[in-house]
Amino acid sequence: MKLTQKFLSGVIAFSALLPLIMPSQAYAQQYRTTQDTPRIDGFNVKEVNRLRPGVELEFGLYGSPGGQATLRIAGATHNLVLVEVEPGQYEGTYTISSRDRLDARSPVTANLRVGYQVTSAVLNESLQIGVGYHASTTASGPQPRIERMMVEPIADLRGGNDLRFVVNGTPGGKMDLAINGVKGKIFLSEVREGEYATTYTIRNRDRITSSSAVTANLRVGERVTSAILGRSLQAAGVVNTTPVATREVRICNSCGIVEAVNPIEVRGEGNYLGSIGGGVVGALLGSQVGGGNGRTAAEIAGAVGGAYAGREIERNSRKTIHYEVRILLQNGARQTITFANDPGYRVGEKVQVMDGVISRNP
């Protein structure tokens, strides 16, 4: 009997403690809310003329507020911590060191941590002016296409108001927008197959006008295509959502001119055969110098130096040249097509691009 009473007393005491040791429904809901995955809405860099020691690279990122943002640059000696200058806006400057080994297309990865959740984004711009998007000289597959761009114009372009963008094109890609007067780029989500959309809330620091140019960039794999919105962002009375394509029916979207032809040098990697061949020659030469330990040291030095020289000779012998042809289309978009050999096109030539294939257009 006494044992039963003690057990019941323990149960009652434990029940009284339950509200203290178990979170309330409201607290649990708040905990789940705070653990939502953070988002990165934009990521950009202010490109520089040359990548040399002492030059500063200015980065900007915006997304979920109240987080910790860091950057990792391939070839850099340390990571960069960004500062939240206003809610959701993170900025930072990386000064290139003499120990860094950066090039124009060094990958840059941003990590944004909020609570215990982290999200990442990779910069799709280059670090140097004139290089453009990351594009592989061995890119394969069809060129992505942007079929139309739409915006819901608004009457007032002041801070706090929303601009809604919808872009249709090749599905399965990465889409972003650059708006003249807005620092950074805006990422779009693929809400349906081939349909990318976002709502951008204008910030007080933005300098958007009704005629601000809006450029969409669609990346599928290693290929990128761009298009420019050909309409005003500001409504004049009635909101007009007519897509760009219906306003430019007389423009040949596949026609344009050759804007640039860039040779891209790709050096091969020397293999062990080149190293061994050079090392043997170097060792033979070293054996002719000195005697005893001196001769042994000379043989070792000759083998090491010969291996290095053999590898460099082989790398140079395996060097190849690819070509990138950049085309400015009549609709304002740009396309870059890669060739294994010189395609014979010259700057200013009229061409037509169909499914990633260039032909001369008289």
Q: What are phi and psi of 301, to 5 degrees?
A: -60, -40
* Residue 123 structure tokens: 């910069």
**Greatest mean pLDDT among 133-142, 151-160, 305-314, 351-360:** 151-160
Mean pLDDT of the region 250-260:
77
The pLDDT value recorded for residue 93 is: 92
Q: Is the per-residue pLDDT at 87 higher than 70?
A: yes
Q: Do domains 40-122 and 146-248 have the same CATH topology?
A: yes
Comparing 299 with 346, the larger pLDDT belongs to 346
Q: How confident is the model at residue 247 (pLDDT cuts 50, 70, 90)?
A: very low
- Model pLDDT for residues 269-285, shown as the tens digit of each residue: 545 444 444 454 454 44
- Distance, CA of 260 to CA of 135 (rounded, Å): 15
> Edge-to-edge, what's the strand order for the sheet holding 80-86?
40-46, 56-63, 89-95, 80-86, 68-73, 108-114, 117-122
Domain ranges of the chain: 40-122, 146-248, 260-266+321-360, 272-318
Q: Return mean pLDDT, the chain.
A: 74
- Distance, CA of 243 to CA of 228 (rounded, Å): 12
pTM: 0.42
Is residue 215 within 8 A of residue 124, CB to CB? The reply is no
- Distance, CA of 179 to CA of 207 (rounded, Å): 10
Q: Is the per-residue pLDDT at 262 higher than 60?
A: yes
Closest listed residue to residue 289, CA positions, set 302, 277, 280: 302
The pLDDT value recorded for residue 16 is: 53
Q: How confident is the model at residue 248 (pLDDT cuts 50, 70, 90)?
A: very low
- Distance, CA of 73 to CA of 50 (rounded, Å): 16
Question: What architecture does CATH give domain 146-248?
Answer: Sandwich (2.60)
Q: How confident is the model at residue 18 (pLDDT cuts 50, 70, 90)?
A: very low
C-alpha distances in Å from residue 212, one per residue of 146, 163, 186, 208, 347: 20, 13, 15, 6, 29
Closest listed residue to residue 42, CA positions, set 118, 129, 112, 117: 112
Strands 334-339 and 108-114, by their bridges, are unpaired
Catalogue the E-assigned strands of the chain.
Answer: 40-46, 56-63, 68-73, 80-86, 89-95, 108-114, 117-122, 146-152, 162-169, 174-179, 186-192, 195-201, 214-220, 223-228, 255-266, 320-329, 334-339, 350-354, 357-360
The alpha-helical segments, DSSP class H, found in the chain are 2-21, 25-34, 244-247, 272-286, 292-317
- Distance, CA of 168 to CA of 164 (rounded, Å): 14
Mean pLDDT of the region 194-212:
89
Structural class in CATH, domain 40-122: mainly beta
